[in-house]
Amino acid sequence: LTGRVLTAEEALGMATAGSAAGLGRPELGVLDAGTPADLCVWDCSGVADAGVHDWPAGLLWASPGRRPRDVMVAGEWVVRDGELLTADAHGLAAELNSLLAQRS
């Protein structure tokens, strides 16, 4: 690999507003008045995040699989305090496990 190393903020920008712009959807991937509000909130107050000074880098590279505490889609909360509000999480998990069992 050669060239300049991307910062975490640059990578995050490419994954959000950059991807939306590439799809011709500049109203996505940003938090501006009049745009659909999609966002995720992670709790970074625990010991796993102690000493992290670059929060975007910590979330992007040091936390694979971390679940967001809150999720908003199109201005509506769908997850609050880690709980799915819009569907039965246990029912969805059971359905997925059943479908996966049928494939094996």
The alpha helices in the chain, defined as continuous H runs, are 8-13, 19-22, 55-61, 89-103
Average pLDDT score over residue span 72-97: 95
d(CA 48, CA 5): 25
Distances (CA, A) of 61 to 17, 24, 52, 65, 85: 19, 28, 12, 10, 28
pTM for this model (two decimals): 0.69
Question: Under CATH, what is the fold of the domain 8-103?
Answer: Urease, subunit C; domain 1 (2.30.40)
Residue 92: count of CB within 10 angstroms of its CB:
11
Please determine, for residue 23, whether its predicted confidence score (pLDDT) is greater than 90: yes
pLDDT confidence of residue 64: 62
Domain ranges of the chain: 8-103
Unique residue bearing structure tokens 């997925």:
96
Mean pLDDT (the chain, rounded): 87
* pLDDT the model gives residue 63: 64
